[in-house]
Structure formats: structure tokens, C-alpha cells
Amino acid sequence: MYQTGQSGRHRMPLWSIVPSWLDIERRFSQSMGYQPGASFQRSLNNEPVSTLQLNLRRVGNIRSAFNRGELEAARRLGRRFADIDISSIINDLIDVVSQMAMIVAGSTLAGGAIGAGVGSFFFGAGAVPMGMAGAAIGLELSTWILGILGLASIAEFFVDGLPRIVDNYTRGIAIAWQGTRGEPGLNPFGGDDPQVVSRAAHHIAQGHEEVVILLLGAIVAYLTRGRGNASVLANEMQASKKGAKLGQWMLQHEDALTRHPDLQNASPRKSALDKQEPPPPPPNRRADEPEPKRASGMAEHEVPCFRLSEKHRNLAKEFDDQLEAQQNGLNDLTVNDYLKGRKAFTDGDVVRDPQLAAKAREEFRNELEEKMQDELISGGAMPEWAEATAKKMASEKMATLAALHNPDLFAGGKDIIGGFGDRRINSSLGAQWPSRITGLDSAAQEVPEALRRSTNMNAKLKKCE
């Protein structure tokens, strides 16, 4: 697929405008130049300023979050659309959506498309170099992804929904950037957030999932509003390799797609000049009577607050991070999965796998050790000393960390380790769940059985004031 230039004569492949991680790193290196020091320098005003080394490590964590987000999104979509056999095209969809997200990453980190002027990269400590994002990039991204898939015909049902979804990507990028903030082992209060990649990946995965749902919903809207024909649309998609495969899958599952409850919300785009006519009121309601609120999915349930112990006040941020990860993991579950998980736990069917935990700890320890060694070497240490010191530092750090299940197994979670966090905070949160779970169970039970497989949990977890 190609994009026409302003003159109408120059055309370039749409894939060519997608930046790579190497492009982004090179842009930082060219703009900042060589700088000694691992993390921060001081400006003329004695303010801490990020070094090239730290910013490249931040980009590395963002890249890891994107990689993990792809896997998480594929898993969530596979579960959400298991009845439509989405597994046959999920890799192609995630590939296209991930490439689109790379345009967001390039724009956000480099202040515009790779190749354009990027301005100064000498950001303050923890500042995120936000470039064109949100609504400003929504139309560009819509044109790109619909062009790649040969789906220009569905634009009116797709374009307006994308800017809101782009915020998931920029939020994930900001979390990974701000959470990569120090030199491991050298400053006990300034090291990286150990969950930064997992937390950022959650938002990236949510962005991927919502783009795919918006895309499929736009196809359904195009077909069901009397405007399009599936065979004609599939024929238009033949011009694209990715689109051709999606088009054939659409033809095979047209009926199931048009009936799926998650794909019924797309509406055609309206201009400011369109006449806005309110729908006629139902027979039993006057025209001037306000429309009653309609229930949408599971109503939010606020779980009783979790208390941070006085002796852990210095770990307040860790407490907030673990609580947020628990909430995100809980709300990733469908109501059906939550209730099944709760029953399995209360019946004693959930057993922790010690081999799974040991393997996860070893992988995380190796990752931590490698990162610490790189930091020490970049700070001027000799490789042999850095290797031995990194092993010791990693061992000491791992002794304070526990494997995290998001959500907790008690709250319907599965024996899947979502990361590592402070052992004391993990134990504190786990001990508080039994006295807070009853209301959440009742709220989940209130969701009609027919909707439980397609409705996600909607819980609010907060710290006591």
C-alpha cells in the first residue's frame, strides 16, 4: 500500500513511515551526543538533567513494554472472541496494530515522525518528551491503518474512536519513561520501579485490544447499517496482503461478527453541519422527559479501602503501585472468569506451582543482574568487578521481593506471575483481601449469566486515607 505526497506524484509505501526502535535510539544519540555519567547531570541552574544513557535505558523499557503488551493483547482478544476463532488472524491484527503504535511511540518520543526536527532532548529528570499525540495524530493513524488493510470504506465508523485509544499508548510510554529513573543499587530510593514494564505493558495491551475492537466494530457497523456488502468489502481488501486474509476471515464469520455484543457500538461520523435530531422518545415517555440512565456492563464496585501500615509508610509508592496492578489485573478478568476463579480458590482447587515461581524468579534475577551490570560498567566500573557486584546486588534485591499475582489468587486470579514487588507490601495486601471480598462477589453475581463471558469486572481499589 502507498501514500500519495502533497504533489500527488510522489508515493511511498505506508510501511516506510513506521519508525523502528533503532531509529528512535539513533535520534536520541544524534540529538544529545556523548555524555559521561549513568543517569543524571546538572544543568547551569543545578537542576538534574537526564543523560543519554538513562534515556536510552528508558527507551529500552518502553520497547520491553511494547513486546509484552503484544502478548497480553493477543491473549485477551483470544479469550474475548474465542467463539469466532479469532486465533487464525490474531497475529496479523496484532502486527498491524503494533506497527501503528510504533508511529505513536516515534511521535511521542521524538516530537514528530522520525526524520523531522525533534528539538532539544535535554529534558528535566523524569520529564516525558511528548510529541504529537491524541487527537492531533488520530486522523493520521486512521488513514495509515485503514490504508494498510484496504478498509478506507469504513473510515466514517472508525476515525472518531481512535484519539481516545491513543491515550493508552501515551500513558504506557509515560509510565515506562518516568519509572526508569535511577542507578540500581547506588541509590536505594532512586532506582527503577521494579514493576515499570508490567504496568506500562498493561496500557499498551489495552490500546491494542481497543484498536482491534474498534476496527471490527467499524466493519460490523458498515455491514449492518445498510451501507455495505461483505463480499464487496472483502474484494476491496484484496489489494492488501494483510487485508486480504482479514477479508476472507470476515466472510467466514460474518454472522457471528454482526451478533457479537462487543461490536455493536460504532456509529457513523457526523460533521458539525449535520442536523442533530434527537431520537423519538419511547411510547411511555414524554419528549421533554430526560432519558433514564442505561446500565452498561458491570456497575463499578468500590472495594473497602486497603490500609497501609504505619511501619510501611516509607513504601507508600510501592503500596500504590501494587494496588494499581491488582486493580488492573482484576478488571482484565471477565465476570465469568472471576467467579470461576473464586470458586476454584474456595473449593481448594487452586494450587501454587513452586516450579513456576522458581522459574519466574530466576528470569527476573537474571534480568535485574544484567541491568545492574550494564549500569555499573557505563559508570566506569571494570567488567569483572561489575559482574561480581551485580550478582551480589541482585541477590540482595531479590531477597526483598515476592512474586505478584494480579489479581491475588484469593480474588479470582490465576497462578500466573505478573511481576515482582516488595514482599512486605504483597503480604499486607493479601492479608486484607478476605475481609473485603464479599461485596465484590455479590456485585459480580448481579451481572446476568448471559453477559458474564463478555463483561469485564469493574472494581475500584483504593488506599485508606
Which pLDDT tens digit goes with each residue over 357-404?
Answer: 566 667 767 776 787 777 777 767 777 887 888 787 777 666 655 555
The vertex-317 CA angle with 316 and 320, nearest 5°, equals 90
Mean pLDDT of the chain: 73
d(CA 406, CA 433): 13
Give per-residue pLDDT as tens, 252-309.
999 989 888 888 765 554 433 344 444 445 545 454 455 444 345 688 899 999 999 8
Give per-residue pLDDT as tens, 176-189.
888 887 655 544 44
**What's the whole-number mean pLDDT along residues 440-462?**
89
H or E element that contains 11: strand 11-13
Give pTM, 2 decimals.
0.55
Looking only at the bridges linking them, the beta strands covering 401-405 and 40-42 are unpaired
Enter the DSSP assignment of 306. Answer: B
Enter the DSSP assignment of 282. Answer: P
Contacts of 112 (CB under 8 A, 6+ apart): 118, 131, 132
Burial (CB < 10 A; 0-12, 13-18, 19+), residue 57, is buried
d(CA 179, CA 181): 6
CB-based contact 421:399 (threshold 8 Å): no
State CA 204 to chain mean position distance: 2
Q: Check residue 207 and give its pLDDT.
A: 92
CB-based contact 168:206 (threshold 8 Å): yes
Contacts of 185 (CB under 8 A, 6+ apart): 191, 372, 375, 376, 389, 390, 393, 397
H or E element that contains 367: helix 354-378
Report the range of poorest mean pLDDT among 43-47, 85-89, 155-159, 256-260.
43-47
CB-based contact 345:412 (threshold 8 Å): yes
